[in-house]
């Protein structure tokens, strides 16, 4: 079995993620860059873990191929190879930058998030068939598909990038109220609606809370998509 594409993809993803982190640090500073990177890992790991544990796909093609006991990839978080999260980080950060910072005005928050989601889907239309045919990951189970990739996967890509974009813009870049969550955040996290400057601790709590709420919402919608499609 050809393991070379898998090694190249894993090492390449870490190198590019390092480059993107460096660019984020130059633009926004250490705090925002770190939030963006660690947030990407925290945002995608639960969904990936759920996908693997429910048997939607597998990353175990190359287990034991490089040397005895080789786990299939070099670095893992639980049952998810870390380079997968790095891939999400690269796509979310670059699509965020393209639409929020360059191509659209800063006031068009939702439009920028929608375009970021579509940009990510476009990239994945290339990534997933290449990865799947080289068995970097393997889709399992019947589903409506395009080039062998289930259609609900693309729904998932759009939702995850779209929602993470909104969270980052309204929490990390500048803390803004998200209307549907503002009442709970005022009571639970003690973040006042009028607060222009929130402490790092409040921002961290808000970031984690918003990721938790939006993650549950995204998983619910992706589950519906996987049943319908």
Partner 1 sequence: MTASKQVETPEEKTESKVIGIRIVVAGALASIALWIFVLFLGSPITPFSSPNPSFAYAFVVCAPAFLLSVLAIYKAKSPSKK
Six-digit token pair at 178? 């998200």
Residues 105-124 that bind partner 1 (CB under 8 A): 105-106, 119, 122-123
Give the integer Cα–Cα distance in Å for 21 and 30.
9
Q: Of the listed pieces 17-25, 159-167, 211-219, 221-229, which binds partner 1 according to CB under 8 A?
A: 17-25
Q: Where are the beta strands (DSSP E) in 83-183?
A: 138-139, 145-146, 149-150
Nearest residue (CB) to partner 1, 11 versus 228 = 11
- Cβ–Cβ contacts within 10 Å for residue 59, how many? 23
Give me the sign of the Cα torsion angle 40, 42, 43, 49: positive
Residue 40 half-sphere exposure toward CB, CA atoms < 13 A: 24
Least separation in angstroms between CB 194 and partner 1: 25
Counting contacts by CB under 8 A, is residue 40 touching partner 1? no
Q: How far is the CB of 183 from partner 1 (least distance, A)?
A: 32
Figure out which of the listed residues 23, 41, 46, 219 binds partner 1, where binding follows CB under 8 A.
23
CA 110 to CA 65: how far, in whole Å?
45
Among candidate residues 13, 1, 10, the one with its CA nearest the CA of residue 62: 1
Question: Under the criterion CB under 8 A, does residue 4 sit at the interface with partner 1?
Answer: yes
Pick the binder of partner 1 from 71, 114, 135, 202 (CB under 8 A): 135
**Interface residues toward partner 1, by CB under 8 A:** 2, 4-5, 8-9, 12-13, 16-17, 19-20, 22-28, 87, 90-91, 93-95, 97-98, 101-103, 105-106, 119, 122-123, 125-127, 129-131, 133-136, 147
């Amino acid at each position: 079995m050809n393991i070379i594409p898998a090694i190249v993809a894993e090492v390449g993803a870490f190198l590019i993620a390092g480059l993107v982190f460096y660019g984020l640090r130059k633009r926004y500073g250490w705090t925002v860059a770190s939030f963006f990177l660690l947030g990407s890992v925290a945002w995608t790991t639960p969904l990936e873990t759920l996908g693997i544990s429910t048997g939607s796909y597998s990353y175990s093609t190359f287990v034991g191929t490089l040397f005895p006991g080789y786990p299939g990839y070099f670095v893992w978080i639980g049952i998810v190879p870390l380079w997968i999260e790095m891939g999400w980080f690269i796509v979310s950060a670059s699509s965020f930058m393209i639409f929020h910072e360059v191509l659209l005005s800063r006031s068009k928050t939702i439009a920028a998030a929608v375009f970021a989601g579509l940009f990510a889907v476009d990239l994945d239309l290339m990534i997933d068939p290449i990865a799947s045919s080289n068995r970097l990951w393997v889709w399992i189970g019947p589903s409506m598909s395009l080039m062998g990739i289930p259609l609900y996967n693309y729904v998932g890509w759009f939702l995850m990038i779209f929602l993470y974009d909104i969270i980052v813009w309204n929490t990390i870049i500048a803390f803004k109220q998200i209307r549907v969550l503002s009442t709970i955040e005022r009571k639970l996290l003690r973040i006042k609606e009028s607060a222009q400057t929130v402490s790092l601790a409040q921002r961290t709590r808000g970031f984690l809370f918003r990721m938790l709420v939006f993650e549950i919402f995204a998983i619910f919608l992706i589950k519906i998509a996987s049943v319908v499609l």
